[in-house]
Amino acid sequence: MSPPRTVWERLAGEGIVRLSLPTPFAVGPVNVFLVEDDPLTLVDCGTCAPDSLERLEASLRRHGRALEQVERLLLTHQHVDHMGGAHEVARRSGAEVACLDALATYVEDFEDAVAADDAASEALLRANGVGDDLVAQAMTAARDRRAFGRSVRVDRRLAPSSELRLRDRRLDVLHRPGHSPTDTVFVDRAHGLAFAGDHLLRDVSSNALIGRGIEDGAPARPLMSYRRSLEETRALDLSLVLPGHGEPILDHRALVDARLAEQERRAEGFLALLAGGPRSAFEIASERWGPVARQQPFLVVSEVLGHMDILVEARRALRAVGADGTTVFAPADPAGHAERRPRAR
């Protein structure tokens, strides 16, 4: 008796092939999907690093395709491990580049967009208690990351809730902000599957990174946006979610429930750390993660601020800004009044 086929093998028989491409980031390889339809479509494309592009070409050849045959490149969001190589893929293949309209604005001016992100990130770190040395370290890492992406012209801007047609499939374009402001899920309702990018990952929680938002000056509360997005995704009738990293998701509702519950538990843990008095997000992160907070200040500050937003919205914590501009948090009593009101520093 032959062994049962894996999900990836079954999908390949149905015209969807996973191509695993290397990244230089801790998240590991990125999933790119070849959709053998008309037009021949790639969902995401990896970074612009030579090893990623070489692996993409080799993977396509193994499946009887060439990069030059790709007719459409569909992008899920603005992070370089998913869209960084789009310029080269489009140049080599002549493929139409399609993505959410808000994402198009970002990737068409990628260099300026990430520079603006960096400036906003620097201000965020300083406002939340991170010292000059760690801010400088974080900004160096951010500039290094930029090198893995390039601007690309977008040929088709997709409106949220619009439909993208292939010969044999119809993909609903669903905006799901949270992990990034431009996260997009492409849903094939007829086949019960979704291309989810980093909106939902099976083995790790997607980070809701603090950013500029789609519009400059908009309040950045990505974890709250992400929770709403997860609830909307939970309501979809799906049998399979294809993520941007790792293995396929067979029960998206159970995973969404687990992620939402995990966020609430983590928020409770952060609230407990406020018992000793008002603290900045970086002070909370330092107590929670120790040396890791110094190694990844932007990641941990984003994590703390997102969960503080849960607590503030529930009136279980209070936020204040001290005289030096540093934001601090303190617990609130059940009636929503301060137990220990944040003090100006």
CA distances, 205 to each of 73, 227, 248 (Å): 26, 12, 14
Q: Are strands 16-21 and 240-243 parallel, antiparallel or unpaired?
A: unpaired
Could you tell me how far CA 192 lies from the centroid of its own chain?
22
Q: In the chain, what are the domains?
A: 7-108+151-250 (3.60.15.10), 267-331 (1.10.10)
Tell me the pTM: 0.93
> What pLDDT shows up at residue 336?
43
Compute the Cα dihedral for 121, 125, 127, 133 and give only its sign.
negative
Query: For residue 211, what pLDDT band results from cuts at 50, 70 and 90?
Result: confident
> What pLDDT shows up at residue 213?
64
What is the crossing angle of helices 110-127 and 132-146, to 10°? 160
> What pLDDT shows up at residue 61?
97
Amino acid letter, residue 303:
E
pLDDT value at 340 more than 50: no
Q: How is 150-200 classified by DSSP, letter by letter?
A: -----SEEEPTT-EEE-SS-EEEEEE--SSSTT-EEEEEGGGTEEEEETSS
Query: For residue 335, what pLDDT band results from cuts at 50, 70 and 90?
Result: very low
pLDDT digits (tens, 9 = 90+) for 245-280: 999 999 999 999 999 999 999 999 999 999 988 999
Neighbours of 136 (CB within 10 A): 12
Question: Per the omega criterion (within 30 degrees of 0), is the bond before 291 cis?
Answer: no
Q: How is 16-74 classified by DSSP, letter by letter?
A: EEEEEE--SSTT--EEEEEE-SSS-EEE----SSHHHHHHHHHHHHHTT--GGG--EEE
pLDDT digits (tens, 9 = 90+) for 165-207: 999 999 999 999 999 999 999 999 999 999 999 999 999 999 9
Given a contact cutoff of 8 angstroms between Cβ atoms, the answer to whether 95 and 89 are in contact is yes
Given a contact cutoff of 8 angstroms between Cβ atoms, the answer to whether 274 and 330 are in contact is yes
Eight-class DSSP state of 214: S
Candidate from 71-75, 98-102, 197-201, 219-223 with smallest mean pLDDT: 219-223
pLDDT digits (tens, 9 = 90+) for 301-323: 999 999 999 999 999 999 999 88
Candidate from 118-122, 153-157, 198-202, 214-218 with smallest mean pLDDT: 214-218
Nearest-5° Cα angle at 53, 52 to 54: 90
Q: Rg of the chain's alpha carbons, rounded to an integer?
A: 21
